[in-house]
Amino acid sequence: MSRLPTSIGAALDRLVDASPVERIVISIASLLFAVAVGAVLVLVSGFVTECDDPFVLLPGVGYGCYNPLEVYWTMLEGAFGSSSGLGRTLQETTLLLFTGLSVAVAFRAGLFNIGTQGQMVLGALATALVVLELGQLVPQNVVGMVIVIPVGIAAGALAGGIWGMIPGLMKAYADAHEVITTIMLNFIATGVALYLVQNHVGDLTSDSVLTETIPSVARFPTSISDSRFSMYALIGALLVAVGISLLYTRTILGYELRTSGIQETAAEYSGVNAKRNIVTSMTLSGALGGVAGAIYVMMVQYRWQSGIPALGFDGIAVSILAGNNPIGVIPASLLFGGLKSGSVAIDLSLGVPNELVDVLRGLIILFIAMPEFFRMLGKWSGFGSDPVGASGGEEA
């Protein structure tokens, strides 16, 4: 170690302050590495599991059931190869846009919101309950829809916003780390929602924990046959992404929110109420998580029921993959949406568990978290025999 930093530190410093291009390179490299590790996992799994139609025989090891290339190809085909697949992909993309933006908004302001999941769970519940009530009071036509859907979104945003405001308040006024508080609030959100639905507001006649089905005026009009995907939701999500990007690059509010989050003392110096801004950032982040929940109820599930997918955690991967750039969130969600959608196909047609995507999600986050890894790799491949990285390891 003793000679390591002087030899690589300064030289690689230019890479540390990654330019947008380098960030994109790191994101793509992380994705490729995650996919490669996933391929190894799939290949190895193929030797553990049993099947009728093995793809390879390794003498002494046994039959391998899965061909990683085939798995990824099936994934791609499943995601984009059919109209129902594409609908599923775009549906996931829409949801991930909101959860990804939720995480990105907080990150831009120097805050790590792991609580998008909880904000989404409660936002979804609020939306379901509000549209169930409101849906009965409005005409059952387009007019009703134009009333109910925005109100439903607002309800989700409100609930998510409040749930996001709590860690914001705790961060600003009690100096409690938002990572800890949002993790706790995720568990609390799930517990509270399950309790309410199971015991008070749900369909108490059912054995499952769920609410009644929402009326058709509360459902987004579908855009692709065999799918619940709605173009309106996607367009809305894209507009939100652009709006957030403008907020942070062009406006005083964005500048001040960001300054408050990354350096509270400097924000105060600049004449800003930093604590209030931290709360604002977290509330905004929570509201976006809540909207994701609203869309989930009104476009995907048509009710609240237990086992809401972990879109909040996917949102972390999406945001990190996008370098926390609101515009970058758009391709990142499409990519992740494709992965999720494709995982359904590999499960159905190849029997590879769709949890593979959850592993990939974690791996992507892990690889992006260590840009240094890619820098060392770049150094290696670029300068061939320079044993800098190796000496770092062996002197441990």
Partner 1 sequence: MNVDDESSNRTRTGNLAVHLDGITKRFPGVIANDDVDFEVESGTIHALIGENGAGKTTLMNVLYGLYEPTEGSVWIHGERREFDGPRDAMEAGIGMIHQHFMLVDTMTVAENVVLGDEPTKWGGLATDRKKAIEETKALAKQYGFDLDPTKRIQDISVGEQQRVEILKTLYRGSDILILDEPTAVLTPQEVDGLFGILEELIAEGKTIIFITHKLSEALHAADDISVLRDGELVDTVSAENASREDLARMMVGRDVLLEVDKPDVERGNPILEVEEVTVEDERGVTVVDGVDFSVHEGEVIGIAGVDGNGQSELVETITGLQTPSDGSITFDGTEITDVSRADRIGMGMAYIAEDRQKRSLVMEYELRRNGILGCQRLPEFSNGWRIDWESAEDYVDDVIDEYDVRPPDPSAEAHSLSGGNQQKFIVGREFERDPSLVIASQPTRGVDIGSIEFIHDRLLDLRADGKGVLLVSSKLEEVRRLSDRIAVMYDGDIVGIVDPADVTEEELGLLMAGERPTGMDVDSARVRRRESA
Partner 2 sequence: MALGAVFVGLFIFALWTVGLVGSSSISSALRLTVPIGFAAMGGIFAEKAGVINIGLEGLLIIGAFGAIASLYALSVTPIGASIWLAFAFAVVASTVVALLFAIVCIEFKADQIIAGLAVWLIALGFAPFASYIIWDQTNSPSVGSFSAWAIPGLSDLPVIGGLFVATPPVILLIIAVPVSWYLLNRTTFGMWIEASGEDPKSLDTAGVDVRKVRYAGVLLSGVYCGIGGAGMALTVGQFVGSGDTMMDGRGFIGLTAYLIGNYNPIAAFFASFLFAGLEALQIQVQQIAGFDVSSRLIGIIPYVTVLVVLAFVGKTQMPSSAGDHYESDD
Binding residues vs partner 1 (CB under 8 A): 2-3, 6, 10-11, 17, 250-253, 255-256, 259, 262-263, 265-266, 268-272
DSSP secondary structure, 148-208, as one string: HHHHHHHHHHHHHHHHHHHHHHHHHHH---HHHHHHHHHHHHHHHHHHHIIIIIS-TTSSS
**Cβ of residue 239: shortest distance to partner 2, in angstroms?**
29
Q: For residues 74 and 345, is the Cβ–Cβ distance under 8 A?
A: yes
Q: 36-55: which residues touch partner 2 (CB under 8 A)?
A: 41, 45, 48-49
Distances, alpha carbon 286 to alpha carbons 7, 207, 363, in Å: 44, 31, 25
Which of 316, 321, 334, 345 is in the footprint of partner 2 by CB under 8 A? 316
CA 76 to CA 74: how far, in whole Å? 5
CA 162 to CA 283: how far, in whole Å? 6
Decide: is 208 part of the binding site for partner 2 (CB under 8 A).
no
Q: For partner 2, which is the closer residue by CB, 30 or 227?
A: 30
**Cβ of residue 256: shortest distance to partner 1, in angstroms?**
7
Q: CA geometry: angle at 211 spanning 222 and 294, to 5°?
A: 45
What, of partner 2, partner 1, none, does residue 31 touch, CB below 5 to 8 Å by kind?
none
What, of partner 2, partner 1, none, does residue 265 touch, CB below 5 to 8 Å by kind?
partner 1
- Structure token pair of residue 274: 């930093």
Q: For partner 1, which is the closer residue by CB, 222 or 263?
A: 263
Q: For partner 2, which is the closer residue by CB, 154 or 170?
A: 170
Phi, psi of 382 (to 5 degrees): -70, -35
CA 56 to CA 47: how far, in whole Å? 9
- Structure token pair of residue 342: 């494709």
Decide: is 35 part of the binding site for partner 2 (CB under 8 A).
no
Q: What is the dihedral of CA 16, 18, 23, 25, to 10 degrees?
A: -70
Q: For partner 1, which is the closer residue by CB, 17 or 207?
A: 17
Decide: is 246 part of the binding site for partner 2 (CB under 8 A).
no
Residues that bind partner 2 (CB under 8 A): 1-3, 5-6, 9, 41, 45, 48-49, 112, 114, 166, 170, 174-176, 179-181, 183-185, 187-188, 191-192, 194-195, 198-199, 307, 313, 316, 320, 353, 355-363, 365-366, 368-370, 372-373, 376, 392-393, 396
